[in-house]
Amino acid sequence: MHELVSFSQLPALREAQVLNILAGVTGTQPVDICEQRLIFAQVKVPEVAISKKQAQTKQQPQQSKRPSYEQLVRSLQLSQNKSTFTTPQESKSIPWHLRTEQTPSASTTATRPGQTAAPYIVREVALTPATPQILLRLTTPSLYAYKYQYILLGHRFVHGNIVIRVYRLYYASSASEGNASGEEAVEASPPQRQDLKPVDESGSWIVDATVRVEEGAGAEVLERGKRELERFRQGMEGCVDLKAGDRLSLDVRVRGV
């Protein structure tokens, strides 16, 4: 599927104000969200089977591909006082999903003088249940290297076809985290709430607004999604200034390989 995403950042003190405004705009109350994400880096690009006919065809040389990052994602439940996550017993029953992203399309970037860049990025995303075969592949050291994990904590609104999130990112401060293997990270219980440290020490919040368009929906549906996101973005101007993120900072390719 394709994701159209606009981003913004909020100072810590504006969280309550913006949540109230979004509640008024969407006509709903925020839903708490908590996600655990494990980041894996491909050690090498998986080989793709090529037929004899394809091998003999030299008219379209294959582009060299670079290894990329992939994510295992699962939703966690917070306790009523939001001080603890899902218990170890409960966490084992929560399924992982594999999320893969492509580097955002360059077509949304201004390329000519006077041209206005689109206020959103467009990227291809796949989200599939992590089968035992996928988990085995990700935890095989010759194929993937486990890098780190983070926890996403925040709030979610839905407005038409737009999903709006206001959240912070946290990392586990425990010493054992840096030495864990991919298999250990997958099997381990989520970090304890008190062991989490904010990635941004200023306490600021990230805001993103996303429209998802399923693969094969057609160009017309994609254009409608762009218009809907743009109307929302314009309506939030002065409160939350949504814009496209830096495309290269969202590059999912592994560097130095």
Set out the domains of the chain in order of their start, with CATH numbers. 2-43+66-110+117-250 (2.40.320.10)
The whole-number pLDDT of residue 62 equals 40
* Mean pLDDT across 75-80: 77
The whole-number pLDDT of residue 114 equals 47
More confident of the two residues 33 and 215: 33
Q: Which of 209, 234, 252, 249 is closest to 120 using CA atoms? A: 209
Q: Which of 190, 187, 75, 178 is closest to 138 using CA atoms? A: 187
Q: Which of 253, 229, 223, 252 is closest to 7 using CA atoms? A: 229
pLDDT exceeds 90 at position 175: no
The whole-number pLDDT of residue 77 equals 83
* Mean pLDDT across 179-201: 89
The whole-number pLDDT of residue 176 equals 54
Pull the structure tokens for residue 112.
Answer: 């000519």
Total length of the chain: 257
The whole-number pLDDT of residue 87 equals 61
More confident of the two residues 96 and 192: 96
Over the chain, what is the mean pLDDT?
85
More confident of the two residues 8 and 114: 8
Strand duo 97-101 + 196-198: pairing = unpaired
pTM of structure: 0.84
pLDDT exceeds 60 at position 239: yes
Q: Which of 31-45, 143-157, 167-181 has the lowest mean pLDDT?
A: 167-181
The whole-number pLDDT of residue 111 equals 41
Q: Which of 33, 4, 23 is closest to 242 using CA atoms? A: 4
Location of structure tokens 């006077």: 114
In the chain, pLDDT over 90 holds for what percent of residues? 61
pLDDT band at 104 (very low <50, low <70, confident <90, very high): confident
